[in-house]
Amino acid sequence: MMTPLLLALAAVAVALAPALAVAQTGAPAAATPSGGAACLEVIAHRGASGYLPEHTLPAYALGHGQGAEWIEPDVVLTADGVAIALHDVTLDRTTDVAERYPDRAREDGRYYAADFTFAELERLRVVESRPGRFPHATFRVPRLTDVLDLVDGLNRTTERRAGVYPELKSPDVQPGLGAAVLAALAGYDLPVRIQSFDAAALAALVTDLPRVQLIASPAQLAPAGLDEIAGYAVAIGVPAILIYRDPALVERAHERELAVHAYTLRADQLAPGFDSLGAEVQALIDAGVDAVFTDHPDQVLALTAAQGAACSPASTAGAAPR
């Protein structure tokens, strides 16, 4: 259930976004004759996590309200098999678990989500792990179904069609994760892309939903590797730094009908060699990248609009930051 505070945040966020948006699909963006992507989609990375704590309903609501085409929850399982939005399989970095349950750490000193029921996790508060960001421990760890309710509801009330882009986190140690995510998604009519770093788990998913293979190292981008990925995925998720170093990798992926989604742009942590977020966005547009994960969707949307590379009318809101 959405709290009054969450409703207020969502209302503010939604008020910032225009009512119209184009429908989204899991398919790669169309390429222009010059080879560049027709537009650069914006994915709210862990929600609008530059402004509110990652993987909280307020952060997702803000990302939607800012006009992001996609909302990204990372997903792990609790002890009772509930799919929750969380980046790590442990709770230490992003919650106050050590204060609430001081006796529940494993021998390695870490607190694992798999050792707690969802009812126990409801006592936790999410904390910000990055310096200089949101200072309060106010919000709770949501279930994936809470995220889906939120995006579906906001889509209806704003007449938009933002998508959900869940990542299967460590499915090798959570064998029921893929099935749990698919079961949750089945209850909604939302654009979906499913992503994972785990190629075996992603390829083995029994689903018609579009899949995105996350890339961790350049070796995975060799021709044979791309050929294999193209057998089950519609896109690759690539560290932006690899694209800056080798923009031609986008063309190699496109030749195999794989879209390229870059991660992760942050206004408060630019990539080495760049002096502005705008320069990073421009480099991705020039390379023909199709979508980008960002902690600051509003700023990237404004920049793509300024460059004529916005995918949605929503991204015409706001002025481009320098």
Binding site for ligand G3P (CB under 6 A): 45, 74, 87, 167, 195, 214, 237, 263-264, 293
Among all residues, whose Cβ is closest to ligand G3P?
A: 263
Residue closer to ligand G3P by CB (options 47, 237) is: 237
Inter-residue long-range contacts of 251-258, CB under 8 Å, 24+ positions, other chains counted:
251/35, 251/288, 252/221, 252/223, 252/226, 253/221, 253/226, 254/28, 254/31, 254/35, 254/288, 256/226, 256/227, 256/229, 256/230, 257/28, 257/230, 258/28, 258/226, 258/229, 258/230, 258/233, 258/234
Class of residue 247 by CB neighbours under 10 A (exposed 0-12, middle 13-18, buried 19+)? middle
How many residues contact Ca ion, by CB under 5 A? 2
Residue 290 binds which of ligand G3P, Ca ion, none (CB < 5-8 A, kind-dependent) = none
Q: How far is the CB of 193 from ligand G3P (least distance, A)?
A: 10
Residue closer to ligand G3P by CB (options 254, 266) is: 266
- Check 87, 254, 261, 296 and give the catalytic one: 87
> What values do phi and psi take at 192, rounded to 5?
-135, 140
Q: Does 167 bind Ca ion (CB under 5 A)?
A: yes
Q: Is 45 in the active site? A: yes
Residue 44 binds which of Ca ion, ligand G3P, none (CB < 5-8 A, kind-dependent) = none
Residue closer to ligand G3P by CB (options 164, 317) is: 164
Q: Is 296 in the active site? A: no
Residue 111 binds which of ligand G3P, Ca ion, none (CB < 5-8 A, kind-dependent) = none
Among all residues, whose Cβ is closest to Ca ion?
A: 167
Residue closer to Ca ion by CB (options 202, 306) is: 202
Q: How far is the CB of 72 from ligand G3P (least distance, A)?
A: 6
Instruction: State how far the Cα of 203 lies from the Cα of 132, in Å rounded to an integer.
Output: 39
- One DSSP character per residue, 276-319 reads -HHHHHHHHHHHT--EEEES-HHHHHHHHHHTT--SSGGGGSSP
Q: Does 41 bind Ca ion (CB under 5 A)?
A: no
Cα separations (Å) of 117 from 112, 173, 247, 314? 11, 17, 45, 39
Q: Does 74 bind Ca ion (CB under 5 A)?
A: yes
Active site residues: 45, 87
Q: Report the interface residues with Ca ion, using CB under 5 A.
A: 74, 167
